[in-house]
């Protein structure tokens, strides 16, 4: 069991700066469009709008994070972003990268297999701001931008580095615990879906229950009853469908999604 401290969350909405100058903000939860939420979806931290940047004098940067994850169509979001930063031809060109964005994968590989309408979901994150993993492709992409920014008169990127798994869990419980418990109460959803091991550990801490081990077995994606206050919730711990942890986990999640789809009416 993981202890939770219910200190208030961070008070400042801006927590960094993306390449080309857009602020990185604390993200508010996405509220359902229905009278009551059918599910509460808890991710680890929000993603970002990414673009393929064809920079002058260098090879393309495949996927550079440039703004908070959009709630509208990605093409519209990219056009709006270009206008907001005052895009100039001397900076090169940008387009959307090829792979589906993470938010779309949650719809197609989590919500749809469960028969859930995305409009009926309350979605939030353990820590509500974007992180950059040290040493991964995004860190390399941002370093390429920073070198370009020095010569182009652009602001350097200033984004938080992702804590390790255990530190991120304790950060979420210590700083965001009260906010997350309030969000669970406000959502009043009978089903909780966690995406990622850290999100599962954070929810276990919030609920005061034991951690659920992740295994490449037939128990993946099972429903766990969890008492929380006067309610009993149904909890499904999953990996994030955009994970790059290896073919084993992606295959396990794909099998789960296919099996869930088959048991739905019309599946």
Determine, yes or no, domain membership for 75: no
Residue with tokens 């993470």: 102
Structural domain range at position 199: 14-47+100-132+161-263
Q: Is residue 18 part of a domain?
A: yes
> Is position 196 within any domain?
yes
Residue 10 tokens read as 């961070």
Whether the CA torsion 92, 97, 102, 107 is positive or negative: it is positive
- pLDDT number for residue 225: 95
Helix axis angle for 165-187 and 197-207, nearest 10°, is 60
What pLDDT, in 10s, does the model give residues 87-101? 999 999 999 987 656
Residue 145: pLDDT above 90? Answer: yes
Q: What's the total number of domains in the chain? A: 1
Q: Tell me how far apart the alpha carbons of residues 253 and 108 are, in angstroms, rounded to a whole number.
A: 12
Chain centre distance of CA 7: 22
pLDDT in tens, 62-96: 999 999 988 778 889 999 999 999 999 999 999 99
Dist CA 24 CA 17 (whole Å): 5
Q: How far is the C-alpha of 225 from the C-alpha of 153, rounded, in Å?
A: 55
Contact 106, 195 (CB under 8 A): yes
d(CA 111, CA 197): 18
Please give the mean pLDDT across all residues of the chain: 88
Residue 127 CB partners (closer than 8 Å, separation 6+): 44, 45, 168, 171, 172, 175, 176
Q: What is the pLDDT of residue 20?
A: 97
Choose among 37, 35, 63, 31: nearest CA to 50: 63
pLDDT at 136: 80
Domain contains 80: no
Alpha carbon separation from 204 to 4, 41, 237 (Å, rounded) = 9, 14, 10
Question: Collapsing DSSP states into helix, strand and coil, what is residue 67?
Answer: strand
Scan for tokens 């993306």, then name that residue.
18
Report if residue 86 sits inside a domain: no
**Reported confidence tier of residue 247, pLDDT bands at 50, 70, 90:** confident
Q: Report the sign of the C-alpha dihedral through residues 234, 5, 196, 41, in that order.
A: positive
Q: Is residue 154 part of a domain?
A: no
> How are strands ordered across the β-sheet holding 93-95?
61-68, 48-54, 93-95
Over range 138-166, report the average pLDDT.
94
Domain annotation covers residue 192: yes
Domain CATH for 195? 3.40.470.10
Asked whether the predicted pLDDT for residue 9 surpasses 60, the reply is: no
- Residue 252 placed within a domain: yes
């Amino acid at each position: 069991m993981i202890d939770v401290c219910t200190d208030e969350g961070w008070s400042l909405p801006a927590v960094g700066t993306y390449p080309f100058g857009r602020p990185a903000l604390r993200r508010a939860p996405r509220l359902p469009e229905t009278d009551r939420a059918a599910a509460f979806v808890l991710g680890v931290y929000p993603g970002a709008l990414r673009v393929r940047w064809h920079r002058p004098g260098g090879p393309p940067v495949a996927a550079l994070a440039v703004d908070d994850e959009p709630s509208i169509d990605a093409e519209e979001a990219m056009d709006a972003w270009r206008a907001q930063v005052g895009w100039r031809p001397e900076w090169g060109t940008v387009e959307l990268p090829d792979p589906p964005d993470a938010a779309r994968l949650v719809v197609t590989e989590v919500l749809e297999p469960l028969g859930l309408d995305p409009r009926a979901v309350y979605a939030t994150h353990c820590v509500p701001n974007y992180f950059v993993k040290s040493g991964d492709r995004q860190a390399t992409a941002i370093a390429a931008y920073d070198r370009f920014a020095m010569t182009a008169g652009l602001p350097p990127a200033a984004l938080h580095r992702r804590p390790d798994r255990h530190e991120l869990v304790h950060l979420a419980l210590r700083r965001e615990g009260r906010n997350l418990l309030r969000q669970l109460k406000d959502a009043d959803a009978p089903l909780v879906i966690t995406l990622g091991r850290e999100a599962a550990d954070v929810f276990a801490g919030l609920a005061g229950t034991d951690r659920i081990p992740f295994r490449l077995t037939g128990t993946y994606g099972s429903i766990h009853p969890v008492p929380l206050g006067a309610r009993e919730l149904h909890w499904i711990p999953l990996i994030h469908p955009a994970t790059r942890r290896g073919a084993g986990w992606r295959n396990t999640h794909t099998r789960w999604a296919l099996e869930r789809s088959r048991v739905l009416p019309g599946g």
